[in-house]
Amino acid sequence: EVQLVESGGVVVQPGGSLRLSCAASGFTFDDYAMHWVRQAPGKGLEWVSLISWDGGSTYYADSVKGRFTISRDNSKNSLYLQMNSLRAEDTALYYCAKGAWFGEFNPLDYWGQGTLVTVSS
Amino acid sequence: DIQMTQSPSSLSASVGDRVTITCQASQDISNYLNWYQQKPGKAPKLLIYDASNLETGVPSRFSGSGSGTDFTFTISSLQPEDIATYYCQQYDNLEVTFGPGTKVDIK
């Protein structure tokens, strides 16, 4: 059974930093691209970032480019999101999600339950 | 950047009704269009991929069609468990964009 479990969400002050983690199990982690998607309270889904199966390629939404860094450790079946220079508008539930097939851009077939990041003074 | 629009933003229908949601892309995305269902307090779930392909295990009352810039998602016979928000999502041109969502409830 595929499982994605996010962690690391906390309350942080504007301008602060945070690293989110996603522990994956139930599939061959290094065969698939992985994504972060966020959802502000009461709002819709916003794609944040994608990393290729080997970490060699990364992509970001314009809203986080230059502030967030996605990475992965295939030896630990783990995905990460380093978030710097946090703003109030980064407040959201952050989901990690798995790409459906080998390759970079494809549907997101499994999602975690999310970890909540609140940026507030 | 590719922008996605959905209509309506919300709808109310009776059990057994046919429900249709449309999604429009700001440029041609071929068939790189997926549909997700999100129930309150839950993570999104993939229903339809590549515009018209039903994800494994998803009931056949859900369907999708379209290509290029205009897409349609249909629930052939609305069931109480279909109460959710539905999102389209494109993944063309090295970017990913979600539509704003359509909230579906029972009349």
Q: What pLDDT does residue A31 have?
A: 96
CA B53, CA A49: separation in Å to the nearest integer?
A: 25
Counting residues of chain B whose pLDDT is more than 70, the rounded percentage is 100
Q: What pLDDT does residue B93 have?
A: 80
Per-residue pLDDT, averaged over A81-104, amounts to 96
For residue range A25-56, what is the model confidence (pLDDT) as tens digits?
Answer: 999 999 999 999 999 999 999 999 999 999 99
Counting residues of chain B whose pLDDT is more than 90, the rounded percentage is 96
Strands B53-54 and B45-49, how do they pair? antiparallel
Has residue B19 got a pLDDT over 90? yes
Q: Select the more confidently predicted residue: B92 or B25.
A: B25
Q: What pLDDT does residue A53 have?
A: 96
Has residue A102 got a pLDDT over 90? no
For residue range B27-59, what is the model confidence (pLDDT) as tens digits?
Answer: 999 999 999 999 999 999 999 999 999 999 999
Q: What pLDDT does residue B58 have?
A: 98
Question: Which residues in chain B are contacts of A95 at CB distance < 8 A?
Answer: 43-44
Give the best residue of B38, B49, B96 to mutate against chain A (max A CB count within 10 A).
B96
Q: What pLDDT does residue A103 have?
A: 86
CB contact under 8 A, B46 and A112: no
Has residue A100 got a pLDDT over 90? yes
For residue range A59-82, what is the model confidence (pLDDT) as tens digits?
Answer: 999 999 999 999 999 999 999 999
The reply to whether B90 touches chain A by the CB within 8 Å rule is no
CA A108, CA A99: separation in Å to the nearest integer?
A: 5
Q: What pLDDT does residue A15 have?
A: 98
Has residue A114 got a pLDDT over 90? yes
Q: What pLDDT does residue B41 have?
A: 95
Has residue B94 got a pLDDT over 90? no
Following DSSP, what letter does each residue of chain B receive, concatenated?
Answer: ---EEEE-SEEEE-TT--EEEEEEESS--TT-EEEEEE-TTS--EEEEETTTEEPTT--TTEEEEEETTEEEEEESS--GGG-EEEEEEE--TT--EE---EEEEE-
CB contact under 8 A, B101 and A45: yes
Contact B43, A114 (CB under 8 A): yes
